[in-house]
Amino acid sequence: MADDRRNSSEKPPSARDGQNSSTSPTQTPAQLQNQTQDARPPPKKRRRVVISCTECHRRKQKCDRDLPCANCKSRNKQDACKYETGAPTAKDNRKPDGEGARSTHVQSLSNAAANWGYSQAGASTLGLMRKIESANGDGQLSHLGGAAHVEDQFATKERYKSLIRQLPAKGYIEKLIDVYFHEFNHQYYALEEDLFKDQFAEWSNIPFSVLSNSGPQALSPDLRVFPALLFQVLATALLTLPEGSQDFYDHLKYAGNMTFEDLAADYSESGVGILSLLGKRQITLTTVQADFLRAAFLKYMAKVTESWHAIGSAIRDAQEIGMHRDSLDPSPASDDTGDMLENMWLIQRRRKLYMVLMTWDIHCALVLGRPGSIDWRILPPSLPIDAPPPKDRRKTPIAPRDDERDPPTPLTKSIWAFKLVGPMREILELEHDGPCPKDYSKVDRVHQICMELDEATPAYFRLENPDTKWDGNPLCSSWLQSVRFYLPQMNLFNLMALHRPYIFNRQKSRTEALKASIEMLHRQMLTFQGLDAGSWRNFSLFFGSFDAVVLMASIYILFPKENLDMAGSAMQHFHWTTERFEAMQERNPLAKAAKGVLQAIFNKFKKAVGNPAPPASLSSLASQTTPASTADNSSLSGRGSVSTATAATADTPVSKSSTVATPTSLPIASDAASAYPLPSSTSDWNIPNTWDFTSIAPLFPMGDLIYHDLNGIPDDGSLPAWGAATPPPPVAGTTSFEGDFGNDSVWNLLNQYDPSSV
């Protein structure tokens, strides 16, 4: 090497020297040969180290030395972005001297463990690693995933900006926020209006330079994910726009023939895109709220399968930040009284939202026949305290609401709804014993619990003779009356779910299931009458009626000689349910999907109970109903035998512009036979004695419709269609149920009946 350096430093002979040597007459041939051997080639030109990637170097572009660099990203050439061996990258230059080992240490411990799925809450491996790093003086983990993700920050920033650009102008946002809190938030009370508007004000004041230069990394974890929550709020508000206000929001549509449902779906997907972009590294309460509103939006759009998956994701995110245990509640920022009070209210918000998630989880499990995401054997967190909303959380301590002096709140309703789903846990446990338990004492005990819950209903939530003193209160006027129709249906569904596994083997369960089903259909009719057409998307309007009408009809088809005193009322409610579904089918996809099943089951139901004249339509009944007739009728209750008379109920929710008139009460006598002809007790419709009902799987109509593609198809292949008011007469031949259901299902059993051969 020394010789090379020495030789390279020697000067080559000049041209003049060469001329002199060539013209010198004294040089001999031997001297010329020696000169040729001593000559060296000229040294190579000094080559600069290439620090750009190969693509930028080839295209003579300035490279930012990321991997992949910005130029390659913009040209979608990430795979071609490479560096010559030894070329430094921006990632290497960002590491200060002496920090490389520690940075690698942080990534190999905390960040790697988080990427492997270890929880950041509780006594987990990641929690111990964080404590070790803090004890060693290491800094906190990097903002969005550590040094391993630094090269993706540019792409994250650009994608984040492209998503938030889809937000409408501030004026539209403010109005849609008001619509959401007035029309929808009270249903689940997932958000506090004052806190949400404070977050929106903080978001609106973020300088453009912060988003343009630093991106989401410069924002706090809560504020970073806030646009995802905002998108879900806007999407939900677009589905619940009051009548007459749609024209104001038409300017938000960007394509011809675009509907508000299409625009709402776009907003909701943008919110999902933000959540997906930010990942699961720094989950906050705002993240869980956005997850839940996404599930509620999908449910409102009749996408039940997607909603079930979304609620499972929300539960997992909530558990990730410790919302499922009291011991994982956050600590106050300091010992200051204001910080401590504010932290107590934060804990209440966490417990309230997790209570709603638990309610959804177990309710979906029973409705769809799917496993839940929460293990109820583990002690759940404490329930939130039913306290009035504070004006200043830094100055107001948490004190329980006085039931006599303070009006009920949406939180009051949510707590009572959670108590109503309490029996569902025991119902799920009973299903492990199968349709033929050793004794039915456990079933009767759960039935008694449901009855006691019905008796304990707070007076302001009762449907019969309610306490209406809070109806005019500004805090209650928009939601209290409608709650009186929804909450009792939860307890009626408990009774239906409790007895449906045993309807094939126990007569008492068949009777109780019939009572609950007919009562559920009656409550559904009263609920339907007070809603405008825009509210017909409501999932509760469908599942309550569909499960009840299928359960009721199946019992009469398979056991036609029992409960003849309720058969007239059952047929009457079947017709009215069909009419409601016909009205809702253009706005509720589930109602449209169910019409084939209702047509098929109607043919068999009519064969079982006879073929009396159809009842009057709901519209004609509405014109005949008077307030006096409502007051004279006896109370309708699920506690005893079900009467077809109408309850002396509270006023139904005020309809904004209902297109289908429905009665506030049913003007029929307490004797069902006088209003509707009853089938003969000597009906020829009989069940073969050879049927083994112990092998029949429990009935989950809603789950079969959604997951098993349940449908009713006539034998001639024609599609079922509804008439103007009542189901059309049956077509020639029988109607079969089709779908991906097993041989042990009720649908397969019903397919084996041939009415023409009976």
How many domains does the chain fold into?
3
Average pLDDT estimate for 509-538? 85
Average pLDDT estimate for 688-702? 66
State yes or no: pLDDT of 739 exceeds 50.
yes
528 and 443 in a common domain:
yes
Give Cβ neighbours of residue 572 (< 8 Å, ≥ 6 apart): 615, 644, 668, 675, 676
At residue 127, the pLDDT reads 62
Give Cβ neighbours of residue 150 (< 8 Å, ≥ 6 apart): 91, 94, 142
Residue 30 confidence class, pLDDT cut points 50, 70, 90: low
In a domain, residue 279? The reply is yes
State yes or no: pLDDT of 265 exceeds 80.
yes
At residue 88, the pLDDT reads 56
In a domain, residue 172? The reply is yes
290 and 211 in a common domain:
yes
**By three-state DSSP, how is residue 605 classified?**
helix
In a domain, residue 169? The reply is yes
Give the residue from 330, 353, 368 where a domain finishes: 368
At residue 101, the pLDDT reads 44
364 and 478 in a common domain:
no
Residue linked to tokens 């029996």: 423
State the Cα–Cα distance between residues 304 and 309, nearest whole angstrom. Answer: 9
161 and 77 in a common domain:
no
In a domain, residue 127? The reply is no
Say how many Å lie between the first and final Cα of the chain, rounded.
Answer: 107
pLDDT tens-digit map of 460-480 = 999 889 999 999 998 898 899
Choice between 194 and 65, residue whose per-residue pLDDT is larger: 194
In a domain, residue 125? The reply is no
561 and 439 in a common domain:
yes
In a domain, residue 126? The reply is no
Q: To the nearest whole number, what is the mean pLDDT of the chain? A: 76
- Give the whole-number percent of the chain exceeding pLDDT 70: 68
Average pLDDT estimate for 206-219? 89
Average pLDDT estimate for 46-52? 73
pLDDT tens-digit map of 334-393 = 999 999 999 999 999 999 999 999 999 999 888 888 888 998 888 889 999 999 999 999
84 and 187 in a common domain:
no
Domain that holds residue 463: 421-738
State yes or no: pLDDT of 97 exceeds 50.
no
426 and 364 in a common domain:
no
State the Cα–Cα distance between residues 615 and 729, nearest whole angstrom. Answer: 15
CA dihedral 332, 334, 336, 341 (to 10 degrees): -10
Other beta carbons within 10 angstroms of residue 471's beta carbon come to: 16
Output the six-digit token pair for 117: 């799925």
- The CATH number given to whatever domain includes residue 58 is 4.10.240
177 and 270 in a common domain:
yes
425 and 364 in a common domain:
no
At residue 586, the pLDDT reads 80
Give the residue from 97, 132, 167 where a domain finishes: 97
Residue 400 confidence class, pLDDT cut points 50, 70, 90: very high
State yes or no: pLDDT of 449 exceeds 90.
yes
At residue 508, the pLDDT reads 92
Residues of 559-574 as b/e, b for ≥16 C-beta within 10 angstroms?
Answer: bbeebbebbbbbbbbb
472 and 338 in a common domain:
no
Average pLDDT estimate for 741-754? 70
pTM value? 0.73
Output the six-digit token pair for 362: 């177990």
Give Cβ neighbours of residue 35 (< 8 Å, ≥ 6 apart): 21
State the Cα–Cα distance between residues 437 and 444, nearest whole angstrom. Answer: 12
In a domain, residue 396? The reply is no
State yes or no: pLDDT of 226 exceeds 80.
yes
Output the six-digit token pair for 165: 């650009």
Average pLDDT estimate for 706-713? 68
575 and 685 in a common domain:
yes
687 and 555 in a common domain:
yes
Residue 142 confidence class, pLDDT cut points 50, 70, 90: very low
At residue 443, the pLDDT reads 93
In a domain, residue 292? The reply is yes
Other beta carbons within 10 angstroms of residue 157's beta carbon come to: 18
